Amino acid sequence: MRLAGKTAIVTGGGSGFGAGIARKFAAEGCHVIVADLNIDGAQHIADEIGGRALTCDVSDGASVNYMAKSVLGAGPLDILVNNAGITHLPSAMEDVSEEDFDRVFAVNMKSVYLTARAFVPHFKERKRGAILNVASTAGVSPRPRLNWYNASKGWMITATKTMAVELAPDGIRVNAINPVAGETPLLKSFMGEDTPEIRAKFLSTIPLGRFSTPEDMGNAACFLCSDEASMITGVAMEVDGGRCI
């Protein structure tokens, strides 16, 4: 029960890695608010783990502020996981539409600013708090044809480090995890199409020889957000089976 008595928000918690993080947090005694644009997915996970579902569009300031008002009105928050993210489809960088570019940057980057604006004052007041950003190996060791997605995750890693150093005097820790390609609904979008050949190509770059799982992310997130990691801030930890070596 490493998160007993704590409350966490997991954005994008209705699917994939976010659901894995929400499940692990709940199993470790945490009260989890599953915040997602897809309320059906969020409700499904919240029902399963005995948490609370909330609709939120993390790219929209009013929606994030509403989430903050609703969550903080019910009690203090200990952990914020910025997990919701999207990608454009693999394509030559100049062929990605402006609309897709704007959407990737709003969901993957602007959301980190919006949640910081909404929750950092609360964490500062309490002189404690843990923020975890779900970035990607794409921000460290990028593949071609996903340029604007890769860049958004590189931005997230830099934001994590800057947030960590600026918020450390207030007792707030900020870390990131960098998942390698994982078994979630998003995987198909990264691969372009899901064929045995493309799967084999992706797997050949992962020394441990398998895709990552929502459980892998839950375990890493739990450690970084628990008091066991009380001396750890500003890291962007690869959860990648050795892909970035």
Ligand X SMILES: NC(=O)c1ccc[n+]([C@@H]2O[C@H](COP(=O)([O-])OP(=O)(O)OC[C@H]3O[C@@H](n4cnc5c(N)ncnc54)[C@H](O)[C@@H]3O)[C@@H](O)[C@H]2O)c1
Active site members: 149
Residue with tokens 């820790």: 173
Report the distance separating Cα 177 and Cα 20, nearest Å. 14
For 79, counting Cβ atoms within 10 Å of its Cβ (0-12 exposed, 13-18 middle, 19+ buried), the class is buried
DSSP SS3 for 10: strand
**Other Cβ atoms within 10 Å of 245 Cβ, number:** 8
State whether the Cα torsion 68-115-96-196 is positive or negative. Answer: negative
Closest approach, Cβ 169 to ligand X, in A, equals 28
Closest approach, Cβ 48 to ligand X, in A, equals 14
Binding site for ligand X (CB under 6 A): 11-12, 14-18, 36-38, 41, 56-59, 83-86, 107, 134, 136, 179, 181-182, 184-187, 190
Report the distance separating Cα 35 and Cα 56, nearest Å. 6
Largest pairwise CA distance in the chain: 52
Closest approach, Cβ 42 to ligand X, in A, equals 7
- CB nearer to ligand X: give 67 or 164: 67
- CB nearer to ligand X: give 120 or 217: 217
Task: Tell me the HSE value of 113 on the side-chain side, using a 13 A CA sphere.
Answer: 12
Neighbouring-strand partners of residue 32? 8
Closest approach, Cβ 21 to ligand X, in A, equals 9
Supply 133's token pair.
Answer: 């950003």
- CB nearer to ligand X: give 170 or 218: 218
Closest approach, Cβ 155 to ligand X, in A, equals 12
**HEC assignment per residue over 131-152:** EEEECCHHHCCCCCCCHHHHHH
- CB nearer to ligand X: give 17 or 25: 17
- CB nearer to ligand X: give 22 or 130: 22
